[in-house]
Structure 1
Amino acid sequence: MNFNFIAQQLEKRSDDALLRNRQLVEQVSAREIRIAGKYYLNFASNNYLGFADEDFFELSTGLGSHSSPLLTGYSKAQQQLEDRLCDLLGYESAMLFASGFSANSSVLKALFHDKSVAQCSAIFQDKLNHASLIDGALQSQAAMQRFNHNDMKHLQSRLEKSKASHKLIVSEGVFSMDGDCAPIAELAALAKAHNAWLMIDDAHGFGVFGEQGLGCAHSIKPDLLVITFGKAIASSGACLLASKAVIDYMLQFNRDYIYSTAMSPGLALATLKRIEQLVAAHDKRQQLNDNISYFKQLAKTHKLALMPSDTAIQPIVLGDAEYTLSVANKLKQRGIWLSAIRPPTVPHNTSRLRITLSAAHRQADIEKLLTELVAVL
C-alpha cells in the first residue's frame, strides 16, 4: 500500500516510547501553566526572566511587512533593531530572521553554497550542537567534522589535521539539552591559532549572562553571532551579527532570507523595546541566579544527580526513554510540568528530565519541585 511506512514508523515510535504529541496550552506564565483545565507549576519554559508574563504596549506600526526584505519588506523598525544590536554587541552589520533555526541553518548553507569554495572548506561542530546547526552544515557544500563535546584537545587535533583553506568552528553559548556553557575564549584562541572563523549560537545565553545580559560571547565577539528573541527576550525571531562584508554576502546568497517575508515592523519594534528592558533587568538576572543556586543546593541535599550546569537549564539524566516519560507523567499528576527529553533530541540511553528555571519562580515552587522529584524518583 502506498505510504504505508507512515503508520509503521508511527507505531514504532510509540512502541519505543518516543512518540511526540502537542499539548494545547490554555494559559501560561513563567511560573504556571494550564492544560486541559488543570494548573501546574511550569518548569518547561524558556521564559527565563519572566518578560513574557508582562503586559506589553499596543503596536504603533504595521503588523505585516508586505514583502521579502529585498523587495519592499525592510522597514525603519527593522533597521533600528539591527542598529541597536550592532551597537550593543559591537558588530558592523546585522540581519533579522523569522526564527533561530532559519538563521543557523541558512547561514551555514549560504556561506558554503559555492562548490569551488566548499571543496576547500571545513565546518567543525561540537557534537551536541543544535539540530539547526547540524542540518545547515549537512546541507552546505563543505565537509563537516564533529568534535567531542567541549573537548578542546579533540578540536585542536581536528584542526591540525585539516587541509581546508576555510575553517569554521561552530558551537553554542549554552547547550540547550545539557545546560552547560561552551569555553568560548578557548574556542576563539583555537580559531585564531588555526586561521579559522568562529560562529556561536547564543540562543540560551543572550539576555541571561553578563552585566547587561549581552550573552556568553559578548567579550569575545565571534566572527558570526546568532541570537534569538524567543527565550529571555520573550519575543520571536533571530538575528545574525557579523562584518558588513558577511552580511552583504548573505544578502546575495542566503535563500531563507531572500525568499521569506520579512519580520513585521510591529514585531521588530516590540523586540527593540524589550531589548531596552532586558539590558536594564539586573534584578531579574540576579533573581534567576538565586533560583538556580537554591535549586542546586536543595538537589544536593536530596542527593539528586544533576548534570554540571550553572544555567537555567538543569537536566536530570534517567537513561531509558520509557522510564523518563513515566516519571514526567507521575510528576504531572503531582502538579509539576516539565519536559521528558528523549531521542533523537538527545543520544540513546540519555533520556532526561529537562528542568528550566525562571526569575519568576518562588522558593516555595522550587521546594515543591524537589519534594515531588524525590517522591517519584
Structure 2
Amino acid sequence: MAIWDSLDSEFAALDAAGLRRRRRTIDERHGAEVVIDGRRVINFCANDYLGLADHPALVEAAIAGAKGWGMGAGASHLVSGHFAAHEHAERRLAEFVGCDAALLFSTGYMVNSGIVAALVGRGDAVFADRLNHASLVDGSLLSRADLRRYPHGDIATLERMLAESSAPRKLILTDSVFSMDGDIAPLPALFALAERFDAWLVVDDAHGFGVLGPQGRGALQHYGIRSPRVLYVGTLGKAAGVYGAFVAGATQVVEWLMQKARTYIFTTGAPPLLAETICAAIDLIEAGDGRRAHVAELVARLRSGLDHPERLMASTTPIQPVLVGANDAAVALAAQLFEDGLWVPAIRPPTVPAGTARLRVSLSAAHTVEQVDALAVSINRRLVP
C-alpha cells in the first residue's frame, strides 16, 4: 500500500515544518470563556466580534424556529427547500446592507466558490488581491477565467493590469477586512477602477459585516458605495453569531446568480430555523453600537498595552495579528499563552506567507478590559524580542 504508506512521510514533513494542525474540543462556552479538557480559558480565537454566538435572543429564535418549521429544509431552494423564513431573512439582509436583493447560501465558502463562475468564464479575467481568502481563490479557479493577482492593496498595479486586459468581461475580487492581517481594502479606489474599466466588483465582507459602517451595516455602507456592478458577500457565522452567508446586490444580478451559481442550485437549503435566527441577529447588530464601541476600546487598549508595537500589523479592526516569524516560535508562544489561560491561535503557512507566522488575536464585545489586559501582560512576558 505505497499510497497509504506515503501519508506517514507526509505527516512527518508537516511535523518537521511546524505545519501540522490539531483541533481542540470545547466542552462548555460561557461568553468569551470556554472549557477545554476541564480547563477554563479565555477564547481569543473566535470571530464572534459582537459576542452574539450564545446570546439568549438567538437561542430563543432558534428554538421558536425549530418549533415552527422543524429542522431540515428537505430539498434545494429551487425545488421545495425555500421557506417563508428564508424569504424574510433575504429581504431583511438586503435592506440592512443597502442592496435591492439578497440570496442565502449555506456557507461563505459556497458563496465565493459559486458566484465568480456565474459572472465570468473562459476568456474573461478576474483581478484578485493576493491576500484574498482561499474561497475567493478557489471560486476564481473554478470560473476558468484568467486569474490575475495583484500585490496586496496595490491600486497602481491593478490599474495597469486592467488597462492591459482585453478580456470582454472583467471582475475585481477582494476581501473587505483581510482575515489574517486585519486591514481594510481600499474599496473607494477599487470601485473607481471598476467604474472606469466597466468591471464587476465583488466584495467579501466576511469580517466587516456587523462591525463596519453605521449600525454595523458593512463595508459598502461604511464607504457609501452602491452600484449595480457591485456585489456584496456577508458571512453570518462571525459577527452575526449564527451560520451561513449571503450575497446581495441589484435585483437583476441576484436573480442571475440564483439561475447560475452551482453552489446555490445543487445543495439542500439551510434549515429554516437558521433564517429565523438570522433575523434576530440583524436586530441585535442594528442595536449594537455599544458593543462596537466596546470592541474599539479593546483594540486600542491591546495595541497600547503591548511592549512590542513593531510586531503589530496596521489593523483598526477586531483582528489584531502579532507577528512572530518562525512557525515553531509561533506554535510555542501560543502554547505558553494557553498555559496562562489564554487561547490564541498560531497562524502559519499556507494561510500566511512563509516567515510571517503570527498570533491572530480576535477581540470580541464579550471580552472584558481585564481579560485584554491579561493578554497583553502575558504576550509581553512570553514574546522574545
Q: Is this a same-fold pair by TM over 0.5? A: yes
1:207 maps to which residue? Answer: 210
CA drift at 1:353: 0.5
1:10-49 map, 5 Å: 10-49=11-50
CA drift at 1:266: 0.6
2:234 to 206, 227, 241: 227
TM-score by length of 1: 0.95
2:85 maps to which residue? Answer: 77
2: CA distance, partners of 1:196 / 1:236: 30
Matched to 1:196, the amino acid is A
1:351 to 348, 357, 360: 357
Q: Is contact 2:94–2:248 with CA below 8 Å preserved after alignment?
A: yes
Partner SS for 1:323: helix
Matched to 1:84, the amino acid is R
1:272 maps to which residue? Answer: 279
1:59 maps to which residue? Answer: 64
Change (3 A) 1:7 1:200: same
CA drift at 1:30: 4.2
| Alignment: residue pair count | 371
2: CA distance, partners of 1:47 / 1:211: 19
CA drift at 1:182: 0.5
Q: Which of 55-64 and 285-294 deviates more?
A: 55-64
From the two aligned structures, give the one with the greater helix fraction. Answer: 2
1:133-212 map, 5 Å: 133-212=136-215
Residues 242-286 of structure 1 show CA distances to partners (whole Å, capped at 9, x for unaligned) of 222222222222211111110111100111111111111111111
2:51 maps to which residue? Answer: 50
- Unaligned residue ranges in structure 1 (runs of 5+): none
Runs of 4+ in 1 over 4 A off after TM superposition: 301-304
2: CA distance, partners of 1:125 / 1:77: 34
Q: Is contact 2:97–2:218 with CA below 8 Å preserved after alignment?
A: no
Q: Taking every aligned residue pair, what percent have the same amino acid on both sides?
A: 37
Matched to 2:234, the amino acid is I
Partner SS for 2:268: coil
1:239 maps to which residue? Answer: 246
2: CA distance, partners of 1:148 / 1:303: 24
TM-score by length of 2: 0.93
Residues 71-122 of structure 1 show CA distances to partners (whole Å, capped at 9, x for unaligned) of 0001100000111122222322221111001111111123235xxxx21x10
1:276-355 map, 5 Å: 276-299=283-306, 303=309, 305-355=311-361
Residues 315-358 of structure 1 show CA distances to partners (whole Å, capped at 9, x for unaligned) of 01111101110111111111111000001111111110000111
2: CA distance, partners of 1:316 / 1:272: 35
Q: Is contact 1:29–1:52 with CA below 8 Å preserved after alignment?
A: no
CA RMSD, aligned part only?
1.4
- Unaligned residue ranges in structure 2 (runs of 5+): none
CA drift at 1:197: 1.4
Q: Which of 124-133 and 216-225 deviates more?
A: 216-225
